[in-house]
Amino acid sequence: MKNYILPIALFATITIGLNSCKKDDDTKKTYDVPTTYNFDSVDYSGQTARLDMLGELTTEMKKGNIKGTSVSAQKQKDMYANENSPFANATLNTTGKRLKDKTFLSEQTVLEGYMDALAAASQSAVDGANGSAGVVGTYLCDANGIEHIQWIEKGIFGSVFFYQIAEVYLGDSKIGASVVKKDRQHHWDEAFGYYGVPKDFPTNKTGIRYIGKYGNDRDVLLGINSTIMNAYLKGRAAINNDDNAEVTKQAAIIKETIEKVLAATAIKYLNDANKGFGNDATRNHTVSEAVAFIRALKYNPSKKISDTELTTLLSTIGSNNWNITQQNITDARNSLSTIYGLDAVKNQL
Amino acid sequence: MNKLFTISLLLFFIFSLPSCKEKKEDFDRKPLLENIGNNVIIPSYKSAHEKALALKVAIADFNNWPEPQKLPALRATFKEAYLAWQAVETYEFGKGIAQAASLNSFPTDSAKIRNNALKGNYNLQAATNLSAKGFPALDFILFSMSDNDLINLIIDFPTAKQYLQDIADDISANITATYDNWNTSHINTFISATGLDIGGSIGILCNSWAQMTERSRRERVGNSLGYVGLISTGTINSKLLEGFYANQSKELVIANLQAGKNLFTGGEGVGFDDYPQVKEATFQGVPLNVEISNQYDKCIAAANAVSTDFKTALLNDKPKMETLFLELKKLTVLIKVDMASAIGVTINYTDNDGD
């Protein structure tokens, strides 16, 4: 007995050892990864245009934060679909790019519904209160204290920007090994375009927005900036050098880290809601933000949170920011931090 | 001679240089946190917890047997509990997050209170009821009616009787939960987080302290005087005072300030007045630790100088109220700006993502 085991064990060790050696040789291709996103033929002007469009749409919606200023539902929808030359920046009108057709399909009518609700609330002649739409402090809310501006802006953030990165452009059909190299590169660049940072980020933080901005806000505690940026750089370099395993690996890092930004930002807003619980404007605003960020989590096809957890979380928060309790807010915060392994920083976020 | 001089100069440098440096950087913050936690914060919560419990019991007793002769003692018990609360309101962290909003949102909403009392069917934990619970709601219920009306309300309306009890129970449960949490675990969290970085106890405490000092200036005095921020509109409104119905505004702000001074000095032990950087910093030539201590005294003196209750003073002695406002304004700046920057903590309670 004894005599057999030793040689087998020895053989197994050698085989595993050899295999792992071989694997290393296969994956460790040597090529340079640049420190900025300056590769050949990079173009993500379509993504930049959509970020600009959301900027203008948000400015338009925020007019409703002043009591007595009504916001047109049609104007919002025109901006969303880029119809009837809605943008002040005229070049956007002729780009042929739209936020709407890049939105996760079932979310399109939902967002347009929020635009109707926002327009209706902006007609209110009274201050917002439990049961009455109107401006609360500096935020336009519906009768349940929901700030639709956040649900629309952060809704597009999730159902366009994050969805396009996580599900569309960094999916196998766009960057998989079977895709033509030129297309793979372009798709990767488009995913980078939705990140909302300059090519030499994080050294340069000028004009960062959306995912880039919120990632940067969480950077001190979670070290987000270099993780995401390095993954974009390594993945693009890997495509250039046909390093397929590395492309997949970096795509996964990007999705996972952006999802973490969303979760951490939701925790941050729930903390703000708890601290500012007694301030109706702060509470309504921050809870609305938190809900929008939580909803955005679902656009990662390999998301960490389960559908059941997501549903439970949203029902814990409920649908009325006047009736919400501190316990609801704390429970939601704690379950989110546990799911995302952020318990150690949940009080600091 | 020359040699001796050189040697002594050398020795002087050797000994003086490192010690100079150490003095500034090596202040051990742990004893400060231990003293503040064990001898200032926990005893304050203990007192608030006991007084709130007494209030809850007194209300249960009154509800069971509503007799007019019980009312003076009940009202006195309420006033004591409200005064004891002032010493803990500053600690808006750990389990105490938003406790000021939860138990002391004023002005209270008398219409909402009437509605809850007569109809029942309310959730006291819902945000919408913050203005219909806590000490201000009891202030309204116990002090806005004649003895007979109050007794009849309790006898005739079971929902009102229940509501009165629910408010008292909620106050007691809230304070007790925070007190227990301090005793069982938060004291260790508080003492061990000695850093000045995000999550450090000094930074968390200073933020809460600055915010609550600012609250005293704005809500305890400024609002009723017609201030919007630091701008006077000249429109007085005594209904915005804390403790309006019991006419207790002056006593409450004084209790609050005395507790603030006790926090600053650390009572008998190590306090913020012993913090090297607070001692070294100056405000218009005066050491900052002396200046802040004096400013607390000036605020208390200014409140005491109002010879009547605040409600009457707003009408008859407004300049004294204005003086109190100015002293509280100075105190707020000293805590929020001077002390925070001397210690090196960031005041970020007004921060948000900017959208």
* pLDDT of A8 over the 70 cut: no
Residue A16 included in any domain: no
Position B8 scores a pLDDT of 54
pLDDT tens, A63-83?
Answer: 999 999 999 999 999 999 999
| Closest CA in chain B for residue A276 | B98
For residue A317, list chain B residues with Cβ-Cβ distance below 8 A. none
For residue A323, list chain B residues with Cβ-Cβ distance below 8 A. 123, 126-128
Residue A258 included in any domain: yes
Residue A23 included in any domain: no
Angstrom distance (rounded) from CA B46 to CA B87: 10
Angstrom distance (rounded) from CA A136 to CA A60: 18
Per the structure, the complete domain to which residue A200 belongs is given by 48-94+105-123+130-345
Q: Return the ∠ at Cα A337 (arms to A335 and A339), rounded to 5°.
A: 70
Instruction: Name the A residues in 196-215 with CB < 8 Å from any B CB.
Output: 214
* pLDDT of B20 over the 80 cut: no
Nearest-CA distance from A183 to chain B in Å?
36
Asked if residues B229 and B62 have their Cβ atoms less than 8 Å apart, the reply is no
Which residues, in sequence order, are bridge partners of residue B227?
A: B232
Q: Does the CB of A45 have a partner CB in chain B at under 8 Å?
A: no
For residue A277, list chain B residues with Cβ-Cβ distance below 8 A. 97-98, 101-102, 127, 130
Residue A8 included in any domain: no
* pLDDT of A271 over the 50 cut: yes
CB distance B199–A348 less than 8 Å? yes
Nearest-CA distance from B104 to chain A in Å?
10
Residue A340 included in any domain: yes
Least-confidence region, from A204-208, A263-267, B166-170, B345-349: B345-349
Position A29 scores a pLDDT of 77
For residue A289, list chain B residues with Cβ-Cβ distance below 8 A. 353
pLDDT tens, B323-338?
Answer: 999 999 999 999 999 9
pLDDT tens, A146-195?
Answer: 999 999 999 999 999 999 999 999 999 999 999 999 999 999 999 999 99
- Sorting pLDDT into bands at 50, 70 and 90, what band is A10? very low
pLDDT tens, A317-331?
Answer: 999 999 999 999 999
| Closest CA in chain A for residue B125 | A325
* pLDDT of A14 over the 70 cut: no
Give alpha helix (H) positions in chain B: 2-25, 29-35, 42-64, 71-86, 99-103, 110-119, 134-143, 147-156, 158-181, 187-192, 201-215, 223-225, 249-265, 276-280, 288-304, 310-316, 318-333, 340-343
Task: Please count the structural domains in chain A.
Answer: 1
CB distance A278–B125 less than 8 Å? no
Angstrom distance (rounded) from CA B181 to CA B175: 10
Tokens of residue A30, six digits: 């040597």
Position B25 scores a pLDDT of 56
Position B355 scores a pLDDT of 47
Position B349 scores a pLDDT of 81
pLDDT tens, A209-221?
Answer: 999 999 999 999 9
Position B22 scores a pLDDT of 40
Average pLDDT, chain B: 92
Residue A53 included in any domain: yes
Given its phi and psi angles, is residue A84 left (phi above 0), alpha (psi -120 to 50 degrees) or beta?
Answer: left
Residue A22 included in any domain: no
Q: Does the CB of B125 have a partner CB in chain A at under 8 Å?
A: yes
Q: What is the pTM of this model?
A: 0.88
* pLDDT of B230 over the 80 cut: yes
For residue B197, list chain A residues with Cβ-Cβ distance below 8 A. none
CB distance B125–A327 less than 8 Å? yes
pLDDT tens, B174-186?
Answer: 999 999 999 999 9
CB distance A275–B127 less than 8 Å? no
List C-alpha distances in Å: B328 to A31, B42, B236, B256, B298: 65, 26, 18, 12, 9
Position A344 scores a pLDDT of 94
For residue A324, list chain B residues with Cβ-Cβ distance below 8 A. 126-127
Residue A209 included in any domain: yes
Share of chain B above pLDDT 70, in %: 91
